[in-house]
Amino acid sequence: MNPLNRALILLTAVVALPVLAAQPMPVMPHLTFEKYKLANGLEVILMEDKRLPLVTVNTWYHVSPVEEKAGRTGFAHLFEHMMFQGSKNVPGDDYIQLIEQAGGELNGTTNFDRTNYFQTVPSNQLELVMWMESDRMGFLLEDLDQAKLTNQQDVVRNERRQSHENTPYGMLDEEVFHTLFPRNHPYYSYIIGSHADIESAQLADVRGFFRDYYTPNNATMVIAGDFDKARTKALVEKYFGPLSAGKPVAKPTVVTPPITSERRKVVTDKVELPRVSMAWLTPAAYKPGDAEADLLGDILGGGKASRLYQKLVYDQQIAQDVSVGQSSMMLQSVFQIEVTARPGVKPEQIEKAVDAELALLREKGPTQAEVERARNRMFSAIIQGLETTAGVADQLNRYNQFVGTPDYLQQDVSRYAKLTPELLRKAAISLLPPHARAVLYCVPGEKVINDVPRSTPPANSPEPQKTAKDWRATQPPPGPVRPLQLPVPTQFTLANGLKVMLFEQHRLPLVSANLVVLAGSDRNPVARPGLASFTADVMDEGTKTRSTRQIAEELATMGASIGSGSTTDYSSVSLRSLKTTADSAFDILADIVQHPAFASQEIERVRSSRKTQLLQQNDSPDALARSALYEALYGKQNPYGYIELGTAQANSGITRDELVNFWTQGYAPGNSALIVAGDVTEAELRDMATRHFGSWSGTASPAPAPTVPQKISARTIVIDHGAAPQTALRIGGIGAARSSPDYVPLIVMNGALGGLFSSRINLNLREKNGYSYGVGSSFGFRRGVGPYAVIGSVRTDATAPAVKEIFTEVGRMRDEALSAQELGLSRSAFSLSLPAEFETNASVAASGSALFVYGLPLDYFNSLPAKINAVSGADVQRVARQYLHPDEMITVAVGDKSKIEQPLRDLKQSPVEIRAAD
């Protein structure tokens, strides 16, 4: 060891922990809203926010697995899918296409307590949402048939395979709930349900579920954003007022039996590392004890300053990761600790270490500093959740359902403000006793999947038609367009060459910042893939005056967070902070960037973690597919041929000197920019930037972009992943650089091909054929020529047909011009959605980072819509033919070789080669 390095380690080790001042409780924003009820029982909550020309409609139906009948697990979630299949006046796929064409976003989710649907659209399209949402609330059944149900049964079962059965540890969480709750409890079966129950759903069940629960009197609709209240009330009455109320919905009485003795179970899965899960039944959401469980979760596992992270991940280094949290639900909450072991560590050792910390918490309670850190992190999370209209709408709906009023923000915060170390010690004793829990080990072994064959659907039985007013058949026109003016940053440069950008916005007391350096993985030596991200990973693990623990504790006390990382084009250190602590947070950010210690013990700890992450890549079919595609496209002699983590061999060999040299040669003020968004003025930022970054020195310049192959040969790579229930697909080729003059037409072309939900590829594979939960495509625009890829997971038996359909759609995009409707939809979805990219400080700062990295003008985003709308059908076909080359595309399929190899060979698409997962 270099003596200087050893002296630095010793110096870091003996620095005294600072006395951190308690942070005052932040001033919470006041949510001004109006709540009223229509004659048919529909609750309406309105909240105006004129910051951006956006409006969110968030509708909660008070129905969930609680209302499911025996043998129909997953039915509430299946029905959520049916709500996107069309209604009387908005048939088929029109619902999603119309929202995308309006530049909006939409989705639906189901949890244990409710089902919700939300759309965020430009504010002049509010009436469109009112028309569509009311049509499916009142007239869904008129366009629903057996074919649609059968298709969505396939889609949901693919979703289950993708999210549970083909995901590492995906079966563990479901088994936790099986262990905590009796079989007849609505929380017993995980929300998505079983294959058998999904497959056995009948059309009559769907229709009955709609009539019973999808009624105005069982729903609450929040409208938040830029709208005129009087006009909006009139629209609500026009579209929803005529709908008939349903029968009163009575909530079933559910009793959750307590756990009186420890329950234990072992789950086997196709994973490299064991995972230990402990779970307790805890008080319901917003009931006494719920807030205590939230803070206990943060104290135990909320970030790098938490007890379990410090003991298991940092000190003992027996755990790869730790996750702790309270899932607050209406009938009964669940408190869960999950810890993934490091290689060679037994789950018993993990359990023993966790139990020691729990015993200490019960005996002595947390410190005052720990309580303040947890509380401040909670306050920051609550405020950050209000940055978007969608976040505000969902929070108002949640408060309304769980406590009976949307006006609960201040009371919510006060629940945490009054908690003391002694109250939390008592809560740890009462809520987390060692005898009243479930303990599950997930260990390497056979993955047990209870799949069932697809059944033959019965004949369709038509639904009697309701009488609807003629005006409902006509799509309403958009309202007047509010002139688009996206934020343009103020920019100045410090004397040392550091560029500073500011997007000033004062709606919430929050600040986000990105320190961006033009030194990414494109700078990695050929023999050292992963060097850039290794450097970034180590930088926030201690400076010359702050240890890793000090950094974590200071940030947690402020309710702030800092993260570092690297992409192909740049490295960055990002910050999120409250306004009141921004200056102190900037001091830490500047210290990390300018004075990283690169202490040897931290390097070795990070090295071990990164090698374990690479080992875990073998668990993930999608990760394997991504790595294989990059290597096949660019080769092993190109930085683009590797994922950011690099390889195990390179990570083993990277030295401290190499890390320091990468930092020295890449991290310098003239090669960097500080992009800030949020509640800060230009004068304040000039002062902070000068004080914290003004003395930064050094010289560096961007590395030249890597050269890429001019031509590659098509081939199919099959990676065997055992008895996988799905195949992870990546099909791609060489794309274009971000600087390409074809950037805008390429985005428009890809939107129609695979970039949107209503794209050709997704509608083909998901909606038409039921092969997948979803398949999309994208260009990886970089400073150099990045890749183009179609990405998705498909049913194992549909692997070859799915590949065939993807190539068919790629060929069709080259050979057939887009229809006027497709072209208009893709252009509008791109241009009209731009305001949504500026809702949060973090997303605004990310947009500013793109301006710096790619040398774009400061007003670029305001000039972009005109460029998008100028793209013609001929432009789309030209770029499709120039950049999409089926005869040069690589197909990577990660799945069950015994079932997918021969069908892929039979396609004769390209030569097939077989690889093992490692």
Active-site residues: which are they? 80
SS3 content of the chain, % helix, strand, coil (to 5): 45, 20, 35
- Strand ranges of the sheet holding 438-444, from the earlier edge strand across to the other edge: 263-269, 438-444, 275-282, 333-341, 319-327
> What dihedral angle (degrees, nearest 10) is formed by the CA atoms of 186, 187, 191, 197?
-50
d(CA 4, CA 865): 55
Concatenating the DSSP letter of every residue in 352-404 gives HHHHHHHHHHHHH---HHHHHHHHHHHHHHHHHTTSSHHHHHHHHHHHHHHHS
Element spanning 534, H or E: helix 531-539
DSSP state of 91: B
Q: What three-state secondary structure class fits 850?
A: helix
What's the chain's length in residues?
918
What is the distance between the alpha carbons of residues 99 and 73, in angstroms, rounded to a whole number? Answer: 30
**Which H/E stretch holds residue 514?**
strand 510-517
How many other C-beta atoms lie within 10 A of the C-beta of residue 462? Answer: 10
Q: Give CA–CA dist 64/71, Å, rounded.
A: 15
The tokens of 674 are what? 């500080």
Angle between helices 600-616 and 531-539 (to 10 degrees): 130
Contact 431, 288 (CB under 8 A): no
742: its two tokens: 């074809």
Pairing between strand 333-341 and 275-282? antiparallel
Return d(Cα 335, Cα 188) in angstroms, integer.
15
Q: Name the nearest CA neighbour of 239 among 399, 409, 471, 440.
A: 471
Contacts of 278 (CB under 8 A, 6+ apart): 336, 337, 351, 354, 437, 438, 439, 440
Angle, alpha carbons 248-107-811 (nearest 5°): 140
Selection from 265, 173, 237 nearest residue 36 by Cα: 237
Please tell me the distance from the alpha carbon of residue 17 to that of residue 37, in angstroms, as a whole number. Answer: 56
Structural tokens at position 222: 């929040």
Pairing mode of beta strands 115-122, 54-61: antiparallel
Q: 3-state class of 692 per DSSP?
A: helix
Cα-flanking dihedrals φ and ψ of residue 550, to 5°? -60, -45
Distance CA 416, CA 407 (A): 17
Q: Which residues of 130-155 are buried (b: 16+ CB within 10 A; e: fewer)?
A: bbbbbbbbbbbbbbbbbebbbbbbbb
Longest distance between any two alpha carbons in the chain, whole Å = 86
3-class DSSP assignment, residue 49: coil
User: Strand 715-720 to strand 561-566: parallel, antiparallel, or no bridges (unpaired)?
Assistant: unpaired
**How many angstroms separate the Cα of 349 from the Cα of each of 36, 267, 312, 432?**
56, 17, 10, 20
Provide the total of helices (H) and of strands (E) in the chain, helices listed first: 32, 23
Closest by alpha carbon to 226, among 34, 396, 56? 56
DSSP 394-417: HHHHHHHHHHS-S--HHHHHHHHH
Of 420, 111, 455, 478, nearest to 292 by C-alpha is 420
Amino acid (one-letter) located at 2: N
